[in-house]
Amino acid sequence: MAEAPDFFDRLCGITEAYLTRRRKKARIRKEKQRAKSQVVDWIEAILWAVCMVLLINQYLIQAFEIPSGSMMDTLMIGDRIFVNKLIYGPELLPGAGKLPSPYSPRRNEVIIFENPSYISRGAVFDIAQRIIFMATFSLVNIDRDENGEPSVHFLIKRAAGAEGDHFVSERGEMKIRFAGEEDWILERDYNAALGLDHRISRLVEDSSYPALEAAGRLGAYLDLALNPPESLSARTDSLYGLRYPDYFATEDARLEMLRSAFPQDTRYRARLARQRLGWYVPEGYVFPLGDNRDNSRDGRYFGPVKKSRVLGRGALIFWPLSRLGAIR
């Protein structure tokens, strides 16, 4: 009879050990599920945050970094800005369709638009690039050229011209003839009369234009396979070190000489006429120009831009803090 308690004691010990082990496994399993649940919660929170960022960037505001000096002194290289995407009607999807808006780009507003010279890699890549770019607050740009530099997909310029305007360039200074008028007005004078506070910057001095025009005539001599006069070559010496030449002034002088050499050739006459007629802004378009005129590839090179291709208006410089303020 003495063995019975030993048997029951042993049985209780085994049962207790089994139950303890079972509870331990259950506790471990519960802890793993809790940890897994936390990871899932974090993933869901991150995905939700990314979706919110994408929605805000696509339909409301988007951050951009200024890569060049084409808008100095309004926008400096490295400025980070917010662009109002809602005002002109946001795109339904990146690069596809637009929602209607009662507002359209107006003269002298700072606008962002798709670069007309940009070569797309296809709709799928464009959408993926735009999503990554927006989700990372413009910190990651997978759209790069063969040299590893970011492709110029978007441009930020000033809508200097509106529907019906006609522009011509004289020694780098723009003149405007408004719709229905006969007289030309210097753009600077027009802006001053309106009291606009943005500044049109020039990097080419007026004293450089005789040399720039001489360079154009020198190019015509080379086109004609003729030896240019030494005096003409000497006049271009001052161009050495000139970082931002005025292509339009040089080309005008070259075409003028070629037309004089071949008056019967309609090609040179047509090209010179097109050069001197300037730019007309048709209905539904704006004419974008950089505030830093001698260092800006803008509407003078690719022409007016459709309003439907304008993605937003520059709203605020938010970085660096020393330049915090509204964009005007």
Do 118 and 161 belong to one domain? yes
pLDDT single digits (tens) 83-128? 999 999 998 877 777 888 999 999 999 999 989 888 878 778 877 8
Q: What is the pLDDT of residue 191?
A: 93
Helix ranges, 207-287 (H): 209-223, 230-235, 247-261, 266-277
Residue 183, in any domain of the structure: no
Is residue 186 in some structural domain?
A: no
pLDDT tens for each residue of 223-262: 999 999 988 888 888 888 788 889 999 999 999 999 999 9
Q: Average pLDDT in the 201-205 region?
A: 92
Determine the pLDDT at residue 324.
Answer: 95
In a domain, 134, yes or no: yes
Overall number of domains in the chain? 3
What is residue 141's predicted lDDT score, i.e. its pLDDT?
82
Residue 255 lies in a domain: yes
Give mean pLDDT, residues 148-158: 88
Confidence category of residue 19, pLDDT binned at 50, 70, 90: low
Domain span at residue 266 reads 206-243+245-272
- Residues 305, 229: one domain? no
Q: 182 in a domain, yes or no?
A: no
Asked if residue 37 belongs to a domain, the reply is: yes
Q: Note the pLDDT of residue 52.
A: 83
- Residue 43, pLDDT above cutoff 90: no
| 8 has pLDDT over 80 | no
Question: Domain for residue 216, yes or no?
Answer: yes
Least confident of 37-41, 65-69, 253-257: 37-41
- Domain match, 153 and 80 both: yes
Alpha carbon 64 to its chain's center = 8
In angstroms, rounded to a whole number, what is the distance separating the alpha carbons of residues 172 and 274? 17
Whether residues 95 and 28 share a domain: the answer is no
pLDDT tens digits for range 258-302: 999 999 999 999 999 988 999 999 999 999 999 999 999 999 999
Same domain (yes/no): 149, 92:
yes
Q: For residue 1, what pLDDT band results from cuts at 50, 70 and 90? A: very low
254: Cβ contacts below 8 Å, ≥ 6 apart: 216, 217, 219, 220, 223
Q: Are residues 302 and 256 in the same domain?
A: no
Backbone angles phi, psi at 129, to 5 degrees: -65, -45
The answer to whether residues 79 and 13 belong to one domain is no
Where residue 70 sits, what CATH number does that domain have? 2.10.109.10
Closest CA to 299 of 318, 277, 279: 279
Q: Are residues 65 and 145 in the same domain?
A: yes
Q: Is 156 exposed, middle or buried (0-12, 13-18, 19+ CB in 10 A)?
A: buried
In a domain, 293, yes or no: yes
